[in-house]
Chain A
Amino acid sequence: MIKLKKILSAGVTLLAATMMVACGSSNSSSSSSSSSTKNTDTNSAKVTFKTDSKKGDSKGGDLKVAEINDTPFSANWLPEIQTSAIDEHIMKWASEGLFKTDDNFNIQDGGPANIKFDDKAKTATITINPKLKWSDGKKVIAKDLEYSYEIIGNKDTESERYNDQYENIEGMKEYHEGKAKTISGITYPKGEDGDSIVLHFKEIKTGMDVSGNGWYSENAEPYHYLKDVAFKDLQASKQNKVAPLFFGPYKVKHIVSGQSVTFEPNKEYYRGEPKLDSVTVSIVNPATLSQQIKAHKFDIIEVRPSNWKSVKNTSGYNYLGVKPMAYSYLGFRVGSLDRVKNVNTENPKAKMGNQNLRQAMAYAMNVDQVVDKFSNGLGYRDTTLIPTAFGEFHDSKAKGFPYDPAKAKKLLDDAGYKMGKDGYRTDPDGKDLTITFSAMSGKPEQQAIVNNYIQKWKDVGLRVKLLNGKLTEFNSFYDNLKKTNQGNIDVFMAAWSLSSEPSAAASMWSSNQPMNFARFSSKTNDKLIRDVQSQASATNHDHFVKSMIKWQDNMNKEAYIVPLDRAYNVYAVNKKVENYSRKLAFDDYYNVGLSK
């Protein structure tokens, strides 16, 4: 399965959250008010979860899966032009990625295809498993691998997947701009009908052996099935929306537009026929989630933190959970972006340019208390910008910013932010200091959380006001952040979902990234990111890990971006379900079964 899509944007997720509220989700229970508000400084959730269901080898059965969303799915099934995480989740029963991975997303041999890098020649050779066939019985060939790049690269498909990273493949840029009919950097050693392609890169990059790296496509598309569809018609075509063709363990049997997809076993699957008779994935409104679980209507269904208390004692389910590759963060807006050169420049006079001030604000926030109160036990405070889900790349020694108002006050005193008679501090020049804070509306508890933080900042003498006195609607919020100048925002609270390849999680904060919404530019930070992306990291794993740890430490020191909190992703999984897992890298849908 395409790990790249695992990142599907924070935006999409957040949008879903916004909409959930817009529809008056009735289940955002107020039960949180009863939970304790005791002050702790632990940095982990109160519960731990298993990630795997039981093992077994039962055959047959019809599996019912819920996909939580309050609107119908958009039905873009081809990964190259997919824009919704919902579509991706639904189709993963049929759409398998080209490469097998271990639990940490490291690509391994033995999947639908193998990839081999030649660091000297700067090439990668992808070889297709000889047994691999499309579900219509046709063999997967070299042209099918290449066609994925054409779909991503051709402007007519309007694919959002195309980016700078693909331009590291020779000839991709020329193809994208329409200057070349083919992609010169993709060659066929055994012809278009052969079993392999060679990718010619300009450079070998860090993380290329980790799934989700974004330097090449991890999918193939059936050329014989799609060749008659013009690229501009691909999105609306029946081959994309109604009857997509994949090589995964299941194939689409029938789709009820926007509502459900029923899968049946793919008899041509390269590992043999899968175990279940059918899988049905249905869209379920988040407002009804608790009731769906209590009524046992589904075998696999997500539990949201607001529902956790009311469903956690429902029998018949195992609750599987995992910490996601995502975090929410506090960002300090200190500069502006030059759109032409793509460079962020820090404004030397920026209000939030003082490191002590930024650190003080971070230490003054009681994230643990907020997590305790609002996540129903599922949340935890993050300590670095690389979540624990990244395994060894996460700096386990980092403490992040535990609540410490005394330290916050000292930092401010040391930097010359003097306390005035009105209980608020002035800036080092003795002028009044008012900090403008922007946060997104959406979650029902958001206002309470924001008020809590503003109160905590006041406790250390900082006057913080919400932008326009209120939470900002999702679209306006990101429109503001995307602006190239600093605008009127000093501090903002946002979130990212990350790709499974760790270096990308660091490089997104370099000064040449437009998505660096803090608009900061730090020479130390840029240097550390260059080390993460260096050839030394690309070829030496230990160096890669160390460079990532150094980067995290410096980010916490400079505190332009402060990690906040996240909650476990929890799923209620029927106790009869076998060989299923919520591990982030889980892709073995072939083995999932249902005992009698």
Chain B
Amino acid sequence: MWKTVLRRILLMIPQIIILSLLVFFVAKLMPGDPFSGKINPQTDPKTIEALKHQLGLYDPPLVQYGHWIQNIFKGDFGQSYTYNRPVLGLIGERAANTFWLGLLTAVLTYAVAIPLGLIAGKNEGKWPDRVIAFYNFVINSVPPFAIYLIFLILFSFILKIFPSTGTVSASAHGFVQIFFSRIYHMILPAIAMMLSGTTAIVQYLRSGIIDNTKEDYVRTARAKGVPEKVIFRKHILRNAFLPIASSLGGTITGLLSGAIVAESIFSYPGMGQLFLQSVNSRDYSVMITLTLLFGILTLLGNLLSDIIMSIVDPRIRIQ
């Protein structure tokens, strides 16, 4: 199997090169440039022109692409035009914020969704199943941004339990205070994102359990007198988890790609918010680095999912 994994990784190289070309040239095709927004009667257009030349924005696109790739191999992803600092440091800072929020959200999501799915699946058609189905129905029909806004208004402004903005309080000092302040700031967005993340998992797990209960091998095990607990754990649950496992790779890499809408609403400076801003202000270096990163994360996520599947499901083999 590992040979195949290696081959898949090697195959990713041309994919990434094509992706980088696409990302770079499509970004350049967008109207405007990082200086479009900087018009002001006191700023001399000549100064702006000179700066654009200095920064190589007038070089032929292929030359610019060449420079960009060359610098990437030196570990230099360029400077952000908006923040006037190296892209890598900027993304690193935001990635850390996004990662911890993503991790908390993922942990909460599984911690809530799995028990709900189990209960619903085990009690098919009974009242707990119906309550959970109702929950799923409601959450699934409300768009996530509405949930975020409701949470923000309810818990932050009306009940004033949680902060409405940022990752850490301005008055927090020292490791312990900052640590708890960070968690405190993450709880509200994490719970809000968790809600909309649970529905699919609950549904998969519920139907997985119900379907597997009717499988031949379960009936066989029952006929052989295997204890019901063992049947559930070994035969039903393990198979019911397969669809969830198949999306696990994406979930893991998704920890880094952030959530554009949630981060904007909760003013949480993570990758999603940075991406949106870089597109709006034509901050090319940040925009293309992030797009490339998201692309690579998706490719890796798919590979990871396949590997996980092959481990948990002996019927699947990566060829």
Contact = CB atoms under 8 A, between A and B. Distances in A.
A75 B266 CA distance: 21
Contacts, number: 174
A583 interface: no
Interface in B19-50: 30-33, 36-48, 50
Contact of B39 (A9, A75, A241, A254): A9
A282 B41 contact: no
A476 B31 CA distance: 5
**Chain B, interface residues (CB within 8 Å), range:** 35 or more
A128 to B, nearest CB: 26
Interface string A59-83: 0000000000011101110000101
B165 A284 contact: yes
Contacts of B295: none
A180 interface: no
Contact of B37 (A15, A23, A76, A514): A15
B47 A160 contact: yes
B206 interface: no
A258 interface: yes
* B interface SS class: loop
A474 B267 CA distance: 23
A76 B80 CA distance: 12
Q: Which of A155, A236, A258, A513 has the most CB of B within 10 A?
A: A258
B157 A479 contact: no
B85 interface: yes
Contact of B280 (A18, A26, A158, A287): A18
Nearest to A517: B39
Interface residues of A, number: 73
Contacts of A10: 39-40
A71 B273 contact: yes
A66 B205 CA distance: 45
A163 B43 contact: yes
Contact of A15 (B30, B153, B264, B280): B280
B38 A285 contact: no
B262 to A, nearest CB: 11
Contacts of B46: 163-164
A499 interface: yes
**A14, A262, A288, A515 — which one has the most chain B CB atoms within 10 A of its CB?**
A288
B246 interface: no
Given A236-B85, A236-B86, A287-B265, A473 B31 contact: yes
A70 B263 CA distance: 10
A288 B267 contact: yes
B84 interface: yes
Contacts of B43: 9, 160-161, 163
B76 interface: no
A458 B170 CA distance: 55
B250 interface: no
A246 to B, nearest CB: 19
A445 B204 CA distance: 43
A85 to B, nearest CB: 10
B276 interface: yes
B40 A11 contact: yes
A543 interface: no
Nearest to B185: A259
A7 B40 contact: yes
B310 interface: no
Nearest to B85: A236
B165 A74 contact: no
B36 A478 contact: yes
A285 B42 contact: no
Contacts of A504: 41-42
Contacts of A291: 152-153, 156-157, 164
A498 B48 contact: no
A292 B164 contact: yes
Given A10-B39, A74-B82, A160 B48 contact: yes
B32 A285 contact: no
B128 interface: no
A479 B269 contact: no
B265 A476 contact: no
A473 B50 CA distance: 25
Given A160-B51, A262-B170, A257 B164 contact: no
Nearest to A480: B31
B231 to A, nearest CB: 49
Interface of A: 4, 7-12, 14-15, 18-19, 22-24, 26, 70-72, 74-76, 81, 83-84, 155, 158, 160-164, 214, 235-236, 240-241, 254, 256-262, 280, 282-285, 287-288, 291-292, 294-295, 297, 473-476, 478-479, 482, 496-499, 504-505, 508, 513-515
Given A163-B44, A476-B31, 14 more contacts: A7-B40, A23-B265, A76-B83, A160-B48, A235-B84, A256-B166, A282-B165, A285-B264, A288-B165, A291-B164, A475-B31, A476-B32, A498-B41, A508-B41
